[in-house]
Amino acid sequence: MSNATVLSVAYLLMAMLIEASRRWFPFRWTDRASLTVEWIPARTLDWVGLYEPIRAAVIDDRLPVFWVRVIFGATSVAAIFVIALAVGALMWGGRWLIIRAEARSRKA
């Protein structure tokens, strides 16, 4: 879990730096970097069916950009932790299988 926490903090810091540079130094690369950072939470929200309602709310001016950033940040952190849990479960399963196979070979 500590790796997921570090990765989440690093991702959010990077996103904050890119967003700040996009606002203060509006170069083309900052816009591209911002879109790249937003890709992960946007795809995650799209997979669970929440991207279109959020997009429609932003277009209709019912949801401020600040709250979109909060939603994207929380989604990114949640996605990183879910991936970390899935990888941890797969590693535990693999280790369990290896230990079980070694125990069988010792008995034989």
pLDDT on residue 13 = 82
CA 104 – CA 48 distance, rounded (Å): 42
* pLDDT for position 59: 92
Amino acid found at 22:
R
Q: Give the pLDDT confidence score for residue 52 in this predicted structure.
A: 93
pLDDT of amino acid 33: 80
pLDDT of residue 100: 93
Question: What SS3 class is residue 79?
Answer: helix
Query: Which pLDDT score, from 0 to 100, does residue 1 have?
Result: 57
Exposure string of 19-52, with b = 16+ CB inside 10 Å and e = fewer, is beebeeeeeeebeebbeebbebbbebbeeeeebe
Taking only the tens of pLDDT, the chain with its 108 residues reads 577 778 777 877 887 788 788 788 878 887 788 777 788 889 999 999 999 999 999 999 999 888 888 898 889 888 888 988 999 999 999 999 999 999 888 886
The Cα–Cα gap between 33 and 5 comes to: 22
Q: DSSP letter at 60? A: T
